[in-house]
Copies of this chain bind each other. A is one copy, B any other.
Amino acid sequence: MSTMKAAIYVEPGRIEIVDKPIPAVGPLDALMRITTTTICGTDVHILKGEYPVARGLTVGHEPVGVIEKLGSSVTGYREGQRVIAGAITPSGWSNACMCGQASQDGAGTPHGWKSMGGWKFGNTIDGCQAEYVLVPDAMANLAPVPDGLTDEQVLMCPDIMSTGFSGAESAGIRIGDMVAVFAQGPIGLCATAGAKLSGAALVIGVDRLPGRLQMSATMGADHMVDSSKQDPVEEILRLTGGRGVDVAIEALGTQATFEAALRVLRPGGTLSSLGVYSTDLTIPLGAFAAGLGDHRIITTLCPGGKERMRRLMAVIESGRVDLGAMVTHRFKLDDIEAAYELFAHQRDGVLKVALTP
């Protein structure tokens, strides 16, 4: 068994299953056998050629599985153990990591800081939409899955939940805050759950799809605004008595949502930005109070590493949130092209798919 199936990026518009050698395990690595994985909106950007990766690269960055083989220098784990790894796989030892910027870990660069440097799976190294994935810096990244949690229960931890929650955390939400979340896709839904979990007294979810607005309520939104029917800025200002929200979370990556998020902030409020943008952004002078509004715009890349994963799984285990409902469709890895087809076109009310090799 020296080869495995893997979904690779072939060219714009084509991701397909091929046979690839199972990778050799370096001293700091671990080989993980994938039991469940999923597709991310970012993967769709890759599929469409909007985000460039090397041809032939295995895509995917949300691994749930079992340790198949440990590198010679790796201690503290055993083969056969159920684990996950975050989408972002910091080394732990770079200057960036030791400065609290693990997601920006360009471990090999002179100073260790590199934008998105911590995002390696399916970006700069082979990813996990495959039978096996090689996890770098395994001791910093492998997080044992508690007994009693299923694969699907922890499937959101590597990226969606970590990213969505970070929108609430980076904003510094305090007990009693008012929060608006723009877009209720998987990340926005997790941001909604994270805002509620952080003590927000009012959470407003914005989207234009009825199914997502319904899920928004399930995830903790107190009010849902259908932006296909109402101007969300007006409606949010109305809901907050003209004051504006303490925190607005952007979870789509467009000028329209970025700008609306700025316009609904109270003076001194925080715009927490999670979206992946594809154009320059404009900050309107008035919404920005000419730079004198004590506003903060904070961007956050998905936090990774084993401690982050441990914490997120602890939240799942506590029953505080249930993200299982976000898995709306299930596919075999062999059928991944169909899964991409469904997911990329947001057909059939899809939120997240589970893929099993």
Contacts and interface: CB of A to CB of B under 8 A. Distances in A.
Given A119-B292, A202-B318, 14 more contacts: A99-B307, A101-B267, A103-B268, A116-B267, A117-B267, A175-B197, A176-B312, A176-B314, A198-B199, A222-B318, A277-B285, A280-B282, A281-B288, A293-B301
Interface in A295-346: 295-301, 305-308, 310-312, 314-315, 317-318, 320
Nearest to A111: B243
Interface string A8-37: 000000000000000000111000000000
A290 B276 contact: yes
A165 interface: yes
A73 B74 CA distance: 11
Interface stretch (A55-63, A88-96, A125-133, A228-236): A88-96
Contacts of A140: 92-93, 98
19 contacts: A27-B27, A27-B72, A93-B93, A98-B140, A98-B305, A98-B306, A111-B241, A111-B242, A111-B243, A113-B267, A115-B267, A115-B293, A174-B311, A176-B315, A196-B320, A199-B315, A276-B291, A276-B292, A297-B297
A149 interface: no
A300 B167 CA distance: 22
Contacts of A192: none
Q: How large is the interface on A (under 10, 10 to 19, 20 to 34, 35 or more residues)?
A: 35 or more
A100 interface: yes
A150 interface: no
A315 B301 CA distance: 30
Interface string A103-118: 1101010111111110
Interface in A242-295: 242-244, 253, 266-268, 273-285, 288-295
A76 interface: yes
A289 B98 contact: no
A225 interface: no
A108 B76 contact: yes
Contact of A110 (B91, B243, B282, B293): B243
Contacts of A199: 197-199, 315, 320
Contacts of A176: 310-312, 314-315
A97 B92 contact: yes
A169 interface: yes
A12 B92 CA distance: 38
A102 interface: yes
A51 to B, nearest CB: 9
Contacts of A243: 110-111, 113
A83 to B, nearest CB: 14
A84 to B, nearest CB: 15
A139 interface: yes
B27 A73 contact: yes
A307 B92 contact: no
Nearest to A197: B199
A93 B77 CA distance: 13
Contact of A292 (B28, B297, B299, B320): B299
